[in-house]
Amino acid sequence: MQGRQIRVRGQVQGVGFRPFVWQIARDYGVRGEVFNDGEGVLIRAAGGDLDAFQAALSARAPLLARVDAVEAVPIRFATAPDAFVIAPSAAGSAGTGVTPDAATCADCLAEIRSPGRRQGYGFTNCTHCGPRFTILNRLPYDRAQTTMAAFPICPACRAEYETPSDRRFHAQPVACPACGPRLWLEQGSHEVPGDPITGAARVLAAGGVVAIKALGGFHLACDAGNAAAVNLLRARKRRPAKPFAVMSREDRLGAFCAPMPDDLVLLRDPAAPVVLVQGTGALPETVAPGMACLGVMLPATPVHHLLMDAVPGPLVMTSGNLSGEPQAIGNDEARATLSAFADAFLMHDREIARRLDDSVERAAPRMVIRRARGRVPGTLPLPPGFGDAPQVLAVGGQMKSAICLLKGGQALLSHHLGELDEALTWEEFLKAIADYSALFDHRPALVACDAHPGYRATQHAHAMGLPVEEVHHHHAHLAACLAENLWPLDGGPVAGIVLDGTGLGMDGTIWGGELLLGDYSGMQRIAHLTPAPLVGGDMAAREPWRNLLVRLDQAGLGDLADRLFTPLPRAALRAAARAGLNAPACTSAGRLFDAVAAALGLCANRQTYEGEAAMRLEALAEGVTAAPYPFAGLDPAPMFHALDADLAAGSPPGVISARFHAGLAHAFAAPARALVEGGRARAVALSGGCFQNARLLAEMLAALDGVPVLTHRETPANDGGLALGQAVVAAARHLSGAESG
């Protein structure tokens, strides 16, 4: 019998795709079989309306599915199939997209709130929601390959699991109180009798801190409306000012924030990210000191929903770790590392296969600040021209570490790992390379890395015994933006405005405020911020006053610096700057933000977390419009003279901040526009960590009105996206060499 073999590629495992195929096969009178394998979903079909059946595979795909390709070839059946069946999974080369974890769906939420065998059960899920990547040990995605293998399925759950019309058909984590994971509350290393949710709510109401085992690791929670409880958590976690995320039921959001329609859409996304939402000032200032926005998230799991139902207001929900270290994922690990932080533990006995922080995102303008739980391991299609790219492993940078794998026309950008200076983060980095490589059967032909010889990731790349492609920091930023926007390999050059903290430049100096012209294969530096000495090296990033002093001295405003920083060691810093003693020249836009923030007294002496000064400066400009400060090309000296005048006139800090943001945007937009209008560039690409600043991004887009502009929307503009850029640059070089050869 003549038939058709259909390969479906994409995010098609763990999303109810096989029962969906079974159902549409019935609709169109098709007979045959469907099964999972290492490349996705494979269908062998005959009879009925095969054309309509094949079209429906993408047109009617399940909510959590993403169909990248549907490929069909004719086949002949030795024996005509008499029905359509869901066959057991097959092994094979791991090339498929693994589904990210998904927030509790409406049906499961209703189930845990209604009478029945899953009422109040914290591990309720179905094919439309629940844990995926955080429980997966290996492909193909079947229960035996996950951490749910430790929980033999009961007859009632098995009946659901084996019924194609049931929404739990082949839902690998399916469970109920009779057969699934168990939740309990611990205090003082002892289990607390009674309902664990009620007990946890009682600790929170008393001002305590509860460690909660979530999907990708432990959270630390406290009452967000209780300033004393929040300050207690800050003291224990040694996190004096960095904003905390807040979890709330959707119907209570209006009590403390003002979500716009786009915010609500993103909050309701199955990824359940932390979303930056305008605050109303109703919560204590200590939740997010100096910020106009709050990081808000809705409950992502049944345990979170049950807990939020049991408490009257929002909860602080932050990673269960000491600041800078990876979050705890194991029960014993949590007891050992979090006992000093938590007054109680809300525990369960399902293992977490890998650490995943919460994703952090903004709805408008759309941006991903931290790519993690709910977004990984979602793959990105490579742009046109990269179809023959080799398998590449890119190891990223030193800060906001992430790795990227290229394979089969897809890029897999890993979850956020952290700062590689931290010993535990370094272990996670090595584990991630082994984990992703094994999970996706990845065998790299070459390794891509940053050109900085001092980066641990760079050193590791050179020690792997494979060909290495070094990619300069800001070229990687530019290329990452191009790749996300599917800019073709032969799409021509673009003007890249790359603004960040610091990165090694092509001339051996420290860059960070750059106008580039280039593509995947190469780039040239067109213009840059006037360099200023980075006195004290890394110390300048921690103490914003250093950056202001050298910028004011450059502008001939040393007297202003003397007035602002009378008690600080100005003479020693100036002497070091003159002598070039641990004071390398630097064009960093990030340090320019620090300087302006210091002029307004924002954490001038010391930042308590990366980006604090710039984030506070951005918050001041909320709702304020003002004329841009002047620059002389990309020299900020005139800007500081105007700022001095505004300070003397008593201009509000918000006006000064707004004028700076607008001035910096106009200064870079003008020469970038000229490159496009002069025919040297086909578009402008915006990348680098400074473009996490929504105000700067909005000002830049306004200044570039009428010019094609590429921005980051699904990958981080910060160093979390570097590995993607490194990977495509390495691939482009390889493809260029192959063509020339």
Is residue 344 included in any domain, yes or no? yes
In a shared domain, residues 390 and 264 = no
Which residue has tokens 């293998």?
Answer: 149
Q: Tell me the CATH number at 77.
A: 3.30.70.100
| Strand runs labelled E in 286-403 | 293-297, 315-319, 344-348, 360-362, 367-370, 380-381, 392-394
Q: Are 360 and 274 in contact (CB under 8 A)?
A: yes
In a shared domain, residues 704 and 608 = yes
- Point out the domain boundary residue: 63, 81, 96: 96
Q: Are 692 and 371 in contact (CB under 8 A)?
A: no
Residue 91 pLDDT more than 70? no
How many whole angstroms separate alpha carbon 4 and alpha carbon 76?
8
Is residue 641 included in any domain, yes or no? yes
In a shared domain, residues 706 and 722 = no
Nearest Cα to Cα of residue 513 among 543, 477, 556: 477
**Cis, bond preceding 488 (omega within 30 deg of 0):** no
pLDDT in tens, 10-27: 888 878 888 899 999 999
Please state which of the ranges 432-446, 614-628, 660-674 shows the lowest mean pLDDT. 432-446
Q: Tell me the CATH number at 440.
A: 3.30.420.360
Is residue 198 included in any domain, yes or no? yes
Annotated active-site residue 36? The verdict is yes
Q: Which helix (H) or strand (E) is 710 found in, with range?
A: strand 709-710
How many whole angstroms separate alpha carbon 413 and alpha carbon 227?
38
pLDDT in tens, 334-366: 999 999 999 999 999 999 999 999 999 999 999
Is residue 412 included in any domain, yes or no? yes
Catalytic residue, candidates 4, 9, 31, 36 = 36
Residue 189 pLDDT more than 90? no
Residue 95 pLDDT more than 80? no
Annotated active-site residue 547? The verdict is no
Q: What is the mean pLDDT of residues 602-623?
A: 96
In a shared domain, residues 349 and 388 = no
Residue 739 pLDDT more than 60? no
In a shared domain, residues 313 and 298 = yes
Residue 408 pLDDT more than 90? no
In a shared domain, residues 441 and 583 = no
N-terminal to C-terminal alpha carbon distance within the chain:
47
Is residue 209 included in any domain, yes or no? yes
Which residue has tokens 């390999």?
Answer: 489
Do the strands 392-394 and 404-407 form a parallel or antiparallel pair, or are they unpaired?
antiparallel
Q: Look at 322 and 485; give whichever has higher pLDDT.
A: 485
Mean pLDDT, the chain, rounded, equals: 95
pTM reported for the whole predicted model: 0.94
Domain that holds residue 231: 183-361
In a shared domain, residues 238 and 385 = no
Is residue 503 included in any domain, yes or no? no
Please state which of the ranges 64-73, 279-288, 360-369, 539-548 shows the lowest mean pLDDT. 64-73
pLDDT at res. 37: 84
Q: In which order are the strands placed within the sheet that holds 446-450?
A: 380-381, 410-413, 404-407, 392-394, 446-450, 468-471
Query: 3-class SS at 422?
Result: coil
Share of the chain above pLDDT 90, in %: 88
Residue 697 to residues 275, 364, 468, 618, 694, Cα–Cα distance (Å): 17, 11, 34, 11, 5
Of 11-25, 83-97, 197-211, the range with the highest mean pLDDT is: 197-211
pLDDT at res. 129: 94
- Point out the domain boundary residue: 361, 387, 408: 361
Query: 3-class SS at 370?
Result: strand
How many whole angstroms separate alpha carbon 76 and alpha carbon 28?
20
Query: 3-class SS at 511?
Result: strand
Q: How many CA within 13 A on the CB side of residue 190?
A: 4
pLDDT at res. 474: 98
pLDDT at res. 92: 59
pLDDT at res. 378: 84
Residue 720 to residues 325, 370, 424, 553, 557, Cα–Cα distance (Å): 17, 7, 18, 34, 37
Q: Tell me the CATH number at 314.
A: 3.90.870.40
In a shared domain, residues 79 and 46 = yes
Overall number of domains in the chain: 4
pLDDT at res. 741: 35
Is residue 169 included in any domain, yes or no? no
**DSSP tag of 16:** S
How many whole angstroms separate alpha carbon 395 and alpha carbon 392?
10
Structure tokens at 218: 């432990």
In a shared domain, residues 239 and 343 = yes
- Point out the domain boundary residue: 361, 396, 415: 361
Is residue 316 included in any domain, yes or no? yes
pLDDT in tens, 151-182: 999 999 999 998 988 999 888 999 999 999 99
Q: What is the mean pLDDT of residues 648-668?
A: 98
In a shared domain, residues 190 and 304 = yes
pLDDT at res. 740: 41
pLDDT at res. 94: 57
In a shared domain, residues 729 and 706 = no
pLDDT in tens, 619-632: 999 999 999 999 99
Catalytic residue, candidates 4, 9, 18, 118 = 18
pLDDT in tens, 218-265: 999 999 999 999 999 999 999 999 999 999 999 999 999 999 999 999
In a shared domain, residues 557 and 600 = yes
